[in-house]
Amino acid sequence: MLRRLGSSLLASHIAGRRMMSQQNLTGKVAIVTASTDGIGLAAARALGQRGAHVVVSSRRKENVEKAVALLQSERIQVTGTICNVGKSEDRERLVEMTVEQCGGVDIFISNAAVNPFFGNIMDSTEQVWDKILDVNVKAAFLMTKLVVPHMESRGGGSVVFVSSIAGYQPMPALGPYSVSKTALLGLTRALAPELASSNIRVNCVAPGVIKTRFSSAIWQNEDIVDEFKKQLCIKRLGDPQDVGGVIAFLCSEDASYITGETITVTGGMNCRL
């Protein structure tokens, strides 16, 4: 009898912890850049489902309005605004608005990236490099610099950069983009030790091929998909929610001892030890 009571108490304790762990972002405020579609939207949804108030943004007003309406219909606490991460005034407005309307910032997901160039890296121009590095790397750092003081004033926080498997192994025809994604692996490692004393963890995800508009040139071509699938253990391309859940995990208490780390989300693409 006593043993049965003991094991049922243990079971309810574990179930309680599991529920808490699933809801453990209640009261947190999360900024996710480029979050009106694809991986950013999936990250916002995953954070919101775990109780965070999410701030979504992208360049186009109609996309922001659509994403806000969608997440609201899923009972997620959400605020939206326009933000092109390549513009300093937009970055500042996003952070100011978040602090004013939501009371602070606890979580920052740097997801925005562009790729204006396909081809041999030796044919890429200075203009291409400026655009790619400005949006994919500099803006990721400058946004982090803006949010960190607000995280510090709340006792800590969590930053996640969205890199790519191309950051480990440059993809054919995507040289400059791949290099920008390698830089994010370095940025993660450079920031983590410096921000640990402020109780801010800095991590990164490196997705493989995920079915979004950004990667449509890959997944709309059956020959390329077949070639990619040969490299995968899980024989399907990824969905945005495959990445969103990992991002939410990295921001949760379950990941409280993880910093400076990159998690690949690739279906087992055989690319690193």
Ligand X SMILES: NC(=O)c1ccc[n+]([C@@H]2O[C@H](COP(=O)([O-])OP(=O)(O)OC[C@H]3O[C@@H](n4cnc5c(N)ncnc54)[C@H](OP(=O)(O)O)[C@@H]3O)[C@@H](O)[C@H]2O)c1
* Selected catalytic residue, list 117, 177, 228, 249: 177
* Least distance CB 14 / ligand X (angstroms): 35
For Cα atoms 216, 202, 27, give the angle at the middle one, nearest 5 degrees. Answer: 90
Name which position in 22, 37, 77, 199 contacts ligand X (CB under 6 A). Answer: 37
Q: Is 86 in the site for ligand X (CB under 6 A)?
A: yes
* Least distance CB 65 / ligand X (angstroms): 10
Answer yes or no: 177 catalytic: yes
Name which position in 25, 32, 33, 259 contacts ligand X (CB under 6 A). Answer: 33
Q: Is 60 in the site for ligand X (CB under 6 A)?
A: yes
Site stretch for ligand X (CB under 6 A), options 1-9, 95-103, 107-115, 190-198:
107-115
Name the residue number minimizing CB distance to ligand X: 38
Name which position in 79, 111, 124, 203 contacts ligand X (CB under 6 A). Answer: 111
Name which position in 24, 79, 84, 182 contacts ligand X (CB under 6 A). Answer: 84
Amino acid occupying residue 52: A
Name which position in 25, 31, 32, 38 contacts ligand X (CB under 6 A). Answer: 38
Residue 11 makes CB contacts below 8 A (sequence gap 6+) with none
Work out whether strand 262-265 and strand 200-207 pair parallel, antiparallel, or are unpaired.
parallel
Q: Is 188 in the site for ligand X (CB under 6 A)?
A: no
Q: Is 63 in the site for ligand X (CB under 6 A)?
A: yes
Q: Is 135 in the site for ligand X (CB under 6 A)?
A: yes
Q: Is 162 in the site for ligand X (CB under 6 A)?
A: yes
Per-residue burial over 195-220, b = 16 or more CB atoms within 10 Å of its CB, e = otherwise: beeeebbbbbbbbbbbbbeebeebbe
Backbone angles phi, psi at 211, to 5 degrees: -75, 95
Q: Is 80 in the site for ligand X (CB under 6 A)?
A: no
CA distance 119 to 117: 7
* Least distance CB 214 / ligand X (angstroms): 3
CA distance 186 to 231: 25
Catalytic residues: 177
Residues that bind ligand X (CB under 6 A): 33-34, 36-40, 58-60, 63, 83-86, 111-114, 135, 162, 164, 207, 209-210, 212-215
